[in-house]
Amino acid sequence: MSSRKIWETTEVIICGCGPTGAMLSAYLGRMGIRNIVIEKEANITTDPRGIALDEDGIRLVQGLGLYDWIYTEIGTCMGEFKFISGTEKDLHKPPILEIVHNAPAGTSGHVGYIGHKQPVLESKLRSAISPTCCSLRCGSTIVGIKEDKDWVYCTYHNADGKDHNVRARYLVGADGKTGYTRKQYLEPRGVMMEKFHEAFYEETWVALNWKMTLPTPETHPSFPLWELGYKPKQVYDLFFPSEFRFLCNRERPAVCGRFGLPEDRLWRFEYLVDRSENGDRMAEPEEMRRIVLPYLTHRGSRYNLDQDVQFPEDCITVLRCRPFKFSSRTCNVWAKERVILCGDAAHVFPPFGGQGIVSGFRDAISLSWRLVVLCRYQPYKRNHERVLAAWYLERKQQLRVSLATTVRNGELVCERNLLKTLLRDWALWFMQLFPMYRDRLQRGGRKTATFQLRHSEGMPFIPDLNGGIYMPQVYCRTATGRICFTDDAIYRAGSRSLFRVFIYLQSSAEIASATEALHGIECWSRGEFDSHNIPIIVENMASTDIIQMSNVFQIASAEEFSRSPLCSQRPVPLSYNPFLIRKRVQGTFVVVRPDRFVFAACNDRGELKEAVECMARYLYGEI
């Protein structure tokens, strides 16, 4: 490189500080990896783009210590998803299918989905970024990237218009599907966005965000429902019901529902643009009103009135109305040399499953610890292409499940053929006559949370020891009686180890023998683990075995969780299985990765020694 330039040096450069980039920086900071984030916008956009976050996304936000803000500032449980068939413009028509997301605890202890306000989510993620490890450079535009065998070099401009030069071991493009990293740097090198052939989808939709104010008898004295005794909040609930709706209207499919906190009164409506129509034209005010307002007009007969009733238009503020091309695509590779893609830069989703942001979150958490491996454990190994290829091949397995589920939801909503819609409605009606199928349909099949990786060369887990399972999360109780999540017990702050190990027991009577089996773990792990600080999770604690040890946690019930502060402002959990870890993981000594995947689940000291030594060899690039 030119000797005339002075290059600021860090370990990782992140291009883009949207949700994916912010989460990646925050997790890198928690692991002690220095990073510089280059963001072209001066401030967080006020436009709410993504609005849904599933239980996996909630869990990863929790992992940054942000749980207290999830239901108080970021969003609200989305409750039920109602699928409504027919061509009537009626949000209150009985649904052909209801999926319940508020009550089941799933495999994460969280609700199925929250409807979030993305600007607040991004603000909270940025608050979790470490000021000692990260430097956020807003209002900065990348103008050049180049590499050599040891470094990647990035040049950017900020408000002063001058060149600023920074180099790092790795550069991550989290700058979206039109960002510089992929479009300008990697595409000329053969990295291309391809159709996801197993579940391909591509259509144009118009997405609008509205913010409502409440009509009152003083502001709208002629509104007919006042005479029937309705209050302003009741009127709002009538026209903008709390449940999210998928409008399976063969004339024009649409989805709509609230997001953000209840007091925000935000509403999203998205509708399909026919291929013969122009997306920009269909987003113009008159077209938007023609399509959406019929859903906000109730027949007078519903209230025994002569005239129809429409929600007052002057109580609606349009925050956004624009077309988007939604598609299911992924890049052929997500990393080339020392430049990496994640989030929308690596893959894009249609809008039927709330998987866009959370897939970027999964990229971030699974990439973050591998960058720690490369920067801290293997700085001179030149093993990065193998490590990164295993990363994105794992992620593509997960992505395939998410995309397939999303596209199936889209097919359910977007079917236009009359005969096929009749068959769909009849099949759903018939299946729900049987309790087993009805319950399965209503749970919505939260498959990404029960996902298990298929092993191939270089992937960091031991399949013969039940590795590759996505570890469930349940509730537990500390020695002082405080309720917490098992992730908070396993990934406790203060430990320098990258991977974590914990002991899972059915009875407290097994604690003594289990801890004896840990003898030698410091040596096996090359100092990664401290036998005196390994969490012990116990199902049943006998009164005679109550142990006041900070590393012992007892499985807690749904009722205990419901009474705790953690359940404030969210629904109480139902269908909760406190023994999910034992059922899924099936091991006494469990080695887990930072991305919540099991590295190995062991039943005796011999298996534990094998697994921990294998983990250490992986960390130091010896396998």
Residue-wise DSSP of 527-590: TS--GGG--EEEEE--GGG----TTEEEE--HHHHHTSGGGTTSPPPBS--TTHHHHHH--SEE
Give Cβ neighbours of residue 594 (< 8 Å, ≥ 6 apart). 27, 31, 365, 368, 369, 491, 498, 499, 500
Q: Which CATH class is domain 8-71+112-199+328-412?
A: alpha beta
What is the pLDDT at residue 19?
96
Within this chain, domains 8-71+112-199+328-412 and 463-620 share the same CATH topology? no
Edge-first strand order for the sheet with 134-137 is: 134-137, 35-38, 12-15, 170-173, 339-341, 335-336
Strand, helix or coil for residue 298: strand
pLDDT of residue 197: 60
Reported confidence tier of residue 2, pLDDT bands at 50, 70, 90: very low
d(CA 541, CA 528): 29
Average pLDDT of the chain is 92
Burial class (CB in 10 A: 0-12, 13-18, 19+), 16: buried
pLDDT tens readout for residues 96-147:
998 876 655 578 999 989 999 999 999 999 999 999 999 999 999 999 999 9
Q: What is the pLDDT of residue 445?
A: 53
Kind and range of the H or E run holding 371: helix 356-372
* Strands across the sheet containing 244-248: 97-100, 80-85, 244-248, 254-259, 266-273, 202-212, 316-327
CA pair distance 335, 320, nearest whole angstrom: 34
Alpha carbon distance 211, 267 (integer Å):
6
Neighbours of 378 (CB within 10 A): 18
- Minimum mean pLDDT among 104-113, 300-309, 348-357: which range? 348-357
Share of the chain above pLDDT 90, in %: 76
Give the Cα separation of 453 and 543 in Å (integer). Answer: 40
Ranges of each domain in the chain:
8-71+112-199+328-412, 201-326, 463-620
Question: Is pLDDT at 250 greater than 90 in this prediction?
Answer: yes
Prediction pTM value: 0.94
pLDDT value of residue 102: 61
Note the pLDDT tens digit of each residue in 471-486.
Answer: 999 999 998 899 999 9
- Whether residue 33 has pLDDT greater than 50: yes
- CATH assignment, 463-620: 3.40.30.10
Q: Could you say which DSSP state residue 597 is in?
A: B
Q: Check residue 1 and give its pLDDT.
A: 46
Q: What's the rounded Cα separation, in Å, for the pair 590 and 493?
A: 18
Looking at residue 623, what is its pLDDT? 83
DSSP result, 80-112: EEEEEESS---TTSPPSEEEE-SSB-TTTTS-S
How is domain 201-326 classified at the architecture level of CATH? 2-Layer Sandwich (3.30)
Residues 6 or more apart whose CB falls under 8 angstroms from that of 465 comprise 587, 600, 601, 602, 607, 610, 611
The pLDDT confidence band at residue 450, using thresholds 50, 70 and 90, is: low
For the segment 53-76, the average pLDDT, to the nearest whole number, is 95
